[in-house]
Amino acid sequence: MKIFDITRPLTSSSVVYPGDTPPRFEQEDRGLFLITDMQMNSHTGTHIDAPVHYLKVGDTIDRVSLPHLIGKCRVLDVTDWGSTITEAGLIGRIDGIQRLILKTSFSRSTEFREDYPSLTIDAARYLTRAGMFCIGIDSFSIESFICDGSVHRELLSHNCIIIELLDLSGVPEGDYDLIALPLRLTGLDGSPARVILTAREEDS
């Protein structure tokens, strides 16, 4: 089995969404052991959005359905689509799947830019009509920088869980098994996560 770790490294210099608190790590040597104090936003680095994040009601991150985040998925390479992922581009490319990961031109980026790739509202509605369980993307947000939250609300209100800021730079388009696990943070709106894809060697 081949394993792709699609989690971005999380350090004190990790880039954050404008207005978010940069992560801070302070390690202390207590003689017999090391221990680290951490400060970070619930949506720092590779992370998962719970429905309550934009709906303000519904499942918190500790109550998100794990079967939505574990199982067969498809990585769709949209690196040449620019900054807009529309319904028209998705038609015919998600048949038979309930978890979709979008590989965009942002995977190798380490600096914030306002034109990061994102879904349009028509694409979000297409995914919810298709019964999508989970949507992941390698950019800062599933929704454009200038937005009204409608893409998040469309997805999350249909219990389509969102994973953001992945690293898909080394992952070819294709079908995989997804494992995406948030921390079990009671009552919170999101969590950093470790996200991996697995494939049989002959399939990768």
Question: How far is the C-alpha of 166 from the C-alpha of 73, rounded, in Å?
Answer: 14
pLDDT in tens, the chain (204 residues): 999 999 999 999 888 898 898 999 999 999 999 999 999 999 999 999 999 999 999 999 999 999 999 999 999 999 999 899 999 999 999 999 999 999 999 987 888 999 999 999 999 999 999 999 999 999 999 999 999 999 999 999 999 999 999 999 999 999 999 999 999 999 999 999 999 999 977 665
Of 66, 24, 70, give the one whose Cα is nearest residue 44: 24
Residue type at 58? Answer: G
Read off the pTM: 0.95
- Inter-residue contact 17 to 112 (CB < 8 Å): yes
Q: Is 171 strand, coil or helix?
A: coil
Whole-Å CA distances, 149 to 53, 60, 145, 170, 202: 10, 18, 10, 30, 41
Of the residues 53, 68, 152, 158, only one is catalytic, namely 53
Domain map of the chain by residue range? Answer: 2-203
- Inter-residue contact 139 to 15 (CB < 8 Å): no
Architecture of the CATH domain 2-203: 3-Layer(bba) Sandwich (3.50)
53 in catalytic set: yes
Alpha-carbon dihedral of residues 84, 87, 89, 93, nearest 10 degrees? Answer: 130
Strands 134-137 and 99-103: parallel
Query: What's the half-sphere exposure (Cβ side, CA atoms, 13 Å) at 53?
Result: 29
